[in-house]
Amino acid sequence: MNHATHEAVPGSVDPRAFKRFADFYPFYLGEHRNRTCRRLHFTGSSLALVCLGLLLATGTWFWLALGLVCGYGFAWVGHFVFEKNKPASFQRPLYSFMGDWVMYKDIWTGKIPF
């Protein structure tokens, strides 16, 4: 990956210790080393965007619920099954949510391998 990596032993850093997103993001990327986990995040985020579009197009709130299930469901499978760690969203939800979308952009732009 073409970014700073988190070198500490997995689970040894408390994500709540970060005061700025810029400091958190390298940690976040270190929690997403597994390519399958990243692919599941990307798929879940893409489906969540589709659901958001359907919510806006139809006004049906079901799409919001399905978007959340897709976004978080795919990501959590990636963490528990492939990455073998707990999602940072459990302890740092806002920074983790921001990290999801920065990583999504970084995958689209080729900064992070898909």
Q: What is the pLDDT along the chain (114 residues), one digit of tens a residue?
A: 444 444 444 557 889 999 999 999 999 999 999 999 999 999 999 999 999 999 999 999 999 999 999 999 999 999 999 999 999 889 999 999 999 999 999 999 999 999
Residue 91 — φ and ψ, nearest 5°? -115, -25
Domain parsing of the chain, residue ranges: 44-114
Q: Report pLDDT for 96.
A: 96
pTM: 0.86
Closest-CA residue to 96 (of 72, 80, 64): 72
Cα–Cα distance between 103 and 80 in angstroms, integer? 19
Residue type, 102: V
Q: Classify burial at 75, counting beta carbons within 10 Å of its beta carbon; exposed 0-12, middle 13-18, buried 19 or more.
A: buried
